[in-house]
Structure 1
C-alpha cells in the first residue's frame, strides 16, 4: 500500500464519523457524571441544624421533621435536675449546616440514675488504690471516715450511712464513703479485736438486819468494877429476867435500885 492510498483511507468519512461519535460519548458521560453527582449529593443544598438541647425527645423529633432532618437516640445519661427523655447532647451541634439526609444523633436523660456494682475492695486495697478504682468506674467518692486500724487500709464502705459489700448495686450518683484505718493499730496486731465484753454490775452491799445481830448480855458491875451477884451467888448475866430473855442490855438504873 502506497502512502497516497493510506492517507486516502484515513481521510474517509467512516473513520471520522467513529472518532466524532467517541468524542460525543465522552462529553455526554462527563456531563452526566458532573450533574448526576451534584443531584445525588444535593450539591449547594444545606440545612441549619436546630438546637434541641434540654428539649423533650418528642418535641425535638417534631422540630427536626419540620426542617427535613431525622433524629436518632444513641445513648442515655442522667442529670437529676432535668426531666426524663430530655435531650442532653446532640451531634452535630445546633447551628451547623448539614444535608437534608443527615441524621442527628442525640443523648437523652434517663428516668433514674443507673446503678453500679461495688467492687471487691474491702480489706483488699489501700485508700489510694480504692479511690482510683471507684472513680474509674464512675462512682462519686467522698471524704474517707477514719477508724482504728492499719493506716490507709480499707475496712468498710458506707452509702447513705449504711454498710455495703462487694457485689451490691448502688446508684451512680450516690456518694461512696470509705472507712479507712487511722494508723492506731497494725494489721498484725489482733489485740482488742475479739475482746469479751463485760457489763458493769452494781454490787449491793448487804446490811445485816437487827435480828441477825449477835446477842450479848451486859454484866452488872459495882463502882470498883467487880461483878455483882444476886443473893443466890449467881452472876447477873445468868439471872432470868426480861432483859436477859430479850437479849437487850440491862438498864443500869434498875441495877442501882436493887442494890
Structure 2
C-alpha cells in the first residue's frame, strides 16, 4: 500500500466514526458501572432502625416494611410476664443506620415455656450429683423429699406431686422434688431369722443298733470210708 493511500484511509470519516463510537461506548460503560453500583447499593442512603423491643411482631413488621426494611425471626425466648409474639431482642441495635432492603433479625417471645429432658439420675446417682446435673441444665429444684432407703441415694423425682421418668420433657417453670434415701432400712428389707427346729433327745433304747445276727454254717461230718489212707512211715 502506498503512503498516499494510507493517509487517505486515515482521513476517512468511516474510520473516525468507528473510533468515536468505541470511545462513546467506553465512556458509557464507565459511567454506567459507577452510577449503576451506587443505585444498586443505595449509595448515600441511610435508614435509622427503630426500637422494636417489646413490640408485637405484626406491628414491628408493618413499621419496617414502610421504611423499606425486612424482618426475620432468628430465635425464640420465653419471658413469663410478656405477651407471646412480642420482640425480645433485635439486631442491628436500634438507632443503627442501614440501607433499604436490609434484614433486621429479631428474637420473639414464645407462647409456652421451654422444656428440658430429665436425665438418667433416678436410682443412678447420689443427691449431690443429681442436684449439680439438674442445676447445670437449667432445672428449678425444690426441697428434697426423704424416703426410706440408702442414705443420699436418689430413688425418684416428683413434678407437681407426680412421678416422672427418665427422658420425660419437663417445663423449666416447674420445680423438681428429688426423693432421696434417709438411711433407714425398709421393713420389707428386714431379714427374718428362723430358729432351728430342736431335735428330741435320744433314749437309751435308741442308742442300741438294731442288726441281724448272722451265723456261719456248721462243718459237714466226714465219712471214714472215704478218707484217704495214710502212707506208712519209712522204717
TM-score, structure 1 as length reference? 0.58
Correspondence for 2:156? 156
The number of residues matched between the two structures is 190
Using CA pairs under 8 Å that are at least 6 residues apart, name the structure with larger relative contact order, 1 or 2.
2
Matches within 5 A, 1:1-259: 1=1, 9-10=9-10, 12-125=12-125, 130=130, 134=134, 138-142=137-141, 145=144, 149=150, 154-179=154-179, 192=186, 194-195=188-189
> C-alpha offsets along residues 83-135 of structure 1, whole Å, 9 cap, x if unaligned?
22221111222111112212322222122213333233322346676567646
What's the CA shift for 1:142? 3.1
Q: Is the 8 A contact 1:140 1:172 kept in 2?
A: yes
Contact 2:145 2:177 in 1 (8 A): no
Residue by residue over 1:211-240, the C-alpha shift from the partner in whole angstroms, topping out at 9 and shown as x without a partner, is xxxxxxxxxxxxxxxxxxxxxxxxxxxxxx
Q: Distance in 1 between matches of 2:142 and 2:33?
A: 67
Change (3 A) 1:180 1:13: farther
Q: CA deviation at 1:37?
A: 1.7
CA separation of 1:128/1:92 partners in 2, compared to 1, >3 Å: closer, same or farther? Answer: farther
**TM-score of the pair, normalised by structure 2:** 0.63
- Give CA-to-partner distance per residue, 1:15-49, whole Å, 9 cap, x none: 34323321211110111111112112221112100
Task: Give the whole-Å Cα distance in 2 for the aligned partners of 1:179 and 1:144.
Answer: 9
Counterparts of 1:141 and 1:53, CA distance in 2 = 28
State the distance in 2 between where 1:128 and 1:38 align: 64
Question: What SS class does the counterpart of residue 27 from structure 2 fall into?
Answer: helix
Unaligned runs of 5+ in 1: 186-190, 198-259
Distance in 2, matches of 1:63 and 1:194, equals 70
Q: Deviations over 1:46-88 (max 9, x none)?
A: 2100011012223323332443333333432211121222211
Whether the aligned pair in 2 keeps the contact of 1:144 and 1:179 (CA below 8 Å) is no
SS of the aligned residue for 1:22 comes to helix
Gaps of 5+ in 2: 192-235
Q: Secondary structure at the match of 2:189?
A: coil
CA RMSD of aligned residues (A): 3.6
Contact 1:47 1:99 in 2 (8 A): yes
